[in-house]
């Protein structure tokens, strides 16, 4: 059974919960147990999905115990007989289609220092590659801190996959992913030219206090400068997966604090869904 690992940003928790809960062919879901996983776990349980929760150091041992099939081993010597060969091939096809997914959710606050973010992502890739057939990096390039992953891990005996837009480009960040890609992000920013705008997804809005405390900054804005007059607009990004009942309340809290106008923007979850399915299908073919 193929093993697909996902190293995910906490800001993309909603997208991850969505694509996994929609996957009816998912055979086994394992969540790496850490402080960041419990919110994701609640979202899975609300969808009647009950994954395993296992410390990272125990995942390889658990997978070793679930990968082998006694029946497959018993009939393997009988493949010289046509009827058993057909049974064996059918079962192998079924096994290839039923992927095991291992999710490792990393801290949202890693964004406050791109060097630490890079170090943590790289460390987890190295640790998870040993039991994975492929790893989906559920991050954008994040200030280009993760822009060289393919080059840096070209010798890795495990394929890496990324969140890509329709142009085949790795998305810049979680906002680009929510808006539909880098071009859509650039177009949205162009439409708001002349008006300082920050963009909030439900996860961004619910995590605002934590990120403000940590002093988040990016290539687009520094959270510590919002008291100035540069930013006057706050854009709420709505997608088909925006189910947080507190989204508007969280956005309103930020807008009032910095005296910002609130506008609505339509986003989507296509990049998360398509990137997940492309990675999964490729892993299942190998």
User: Among 1, 63, 9, 45, which Cα is nearest to 171's?
Assistant: 9
Shared domain check, 281 and 142: yes
Shared domain check, 221 and 157: no
Domain count, the chain: 2
Shared domain check, 10 and 91: yes
Say yes or no to pLDDT of 213 above 80: no
d(CA 28, CA 6): 13
Q: What is the pLDDT of residue 65?
A: 63
Between 2-16, 66-80, 227-241, the lowest mean confidence (pLDDT) is in: 66-80
Shared domain check, 78 and 181: no
Give the distance from CA 122 to its chain's centroid: 15
User: Among 140, 196, 203, which Cα is nearest to 169's?
Assistant: 140
Shared domain check, 260 and 145: no
Say yes or no to pLDDT of 75 above 60: no
Q: What is the pLDDT of residue 253?
A: 95
d(CA 105, CA 72): 34
User: Which residue has 């394992």 as its token pair?
Assistant: 30
Shared domain check, 92 and 181: no
User: Among 240, 249, 191, which Cα is nearest to 17's?
Assistant: 240
Mean pLDDT of 5-17: 95
Read off the pLDDT of residues 135-155 as tens digits, 9 standing for 90 and up: 999 999 987 889 899 999 999
> Quick one: pLDDT band at residue 279, thresholds 50, 70, 90?
very high
> Quick one: pLDDT band at residue 55, thresholds 50, 70, 90?
very high
| Predicted TM-score (pTM) of this structure | 0.86
Between 47-51, 68-72, 242-246, the lowest mean confidence (pLDDT) is in: 68-72
Share of the chain above pLDDT 90, in %: 58
Shared domain check, 86 and 64: yes
Q: What is the pLDDT of residue 85?
A: 52
266 Cβ partners below 8 Å, 6+ apart? 237, 238, 239
Between 42-56, 63-77, 105-119, the lowest mean confidence (pLDDT) is in: 63-77
Q: What is the pLDDT of residue 88?
A: 39
* Cβ atoms of 164 and 37 closer than 8 Å: no
Six-digit token pair at 40? 């994701």
Shared domain check, 100 and 234: no
Question: The domain that contains 150 carries what CATH number?
Answer: 3.40.35
Shared domain check, 160 and 80: yes
Q: What is the pLDDT of residue 19?
A: 95
Read off the pLDDT of residues 256-276 as tens digits, 9 standing for 90 and up: 998 999 999 999 999 999 999
Shared domain check, 142 and 55: yes
Read off the pLDDT of residues 159-184 as tens digits, 9 standing for 90 and up: 999 999 999 999 999 999 999 999 99
- Residue 169 is classified by DSSP as P
Domain that holds residue 223: 176-266
Shared domain check, 119 and 20: yes
Shared domain check, 60 and 165: yes
């Amino acid at each position: 059974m193929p093993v697909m690992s996902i190293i995910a940003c906490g800001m993309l928790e909603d997208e991850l919960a969505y694509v996994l809960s929609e996957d009816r062919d998912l055979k086994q879901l394992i969540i790496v147990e850490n402080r960041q996983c419990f919110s994701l776990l609640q979202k899975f349980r609300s969808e009647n999905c009950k994954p395993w929760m296992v410390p990272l150091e125990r995942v390889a041992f658990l997978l070793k115990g679930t990968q082998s099939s006694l029946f497959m081993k018993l009939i393997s010597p009988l493949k010289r007989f046509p009827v058993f060969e057909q049974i064996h091939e059918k079962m192998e096809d079924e096994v290839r289609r039923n992927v095991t997914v291992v999710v490792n959710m990393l801290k949202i606050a890693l964004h406050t220092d791109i060097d630490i973010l890079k170090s943590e992502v790289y460390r987890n890739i190295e640790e998870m590659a040993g039991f994975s057939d492929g790893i989906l990096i559920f991050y954008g390039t994040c200030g280009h801190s993760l822009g060289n992953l393919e080059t840096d891990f070209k010798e890795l005996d495990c394929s890496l996959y990324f969140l890509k837009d329709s142009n085949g480009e790795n998305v810049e960040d979680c906002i680009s992913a929510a808006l539909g890609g880098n071009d859509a992000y650039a177009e949205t920013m162009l439409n708001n030219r002349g008006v300082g705008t920050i963009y909030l997804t439900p996860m961004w809005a619910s995590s605002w206090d934590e990120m403000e405390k940590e002093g988040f900054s990016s290539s687009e804005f520094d959270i510590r400068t919002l008291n100035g007059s540069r930013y006057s607009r706050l854009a709420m990004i709505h997608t088909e997966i925006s189910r947080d009942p507190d989204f508007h309340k969280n956005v309103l809290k930020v807008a009032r604090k910095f005296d910002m106008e609130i506008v609505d923007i339509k986003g989507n979850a296509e990049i998360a869904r398509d990137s997940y399915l492309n990675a999964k299908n490729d892993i299942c073919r190998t």
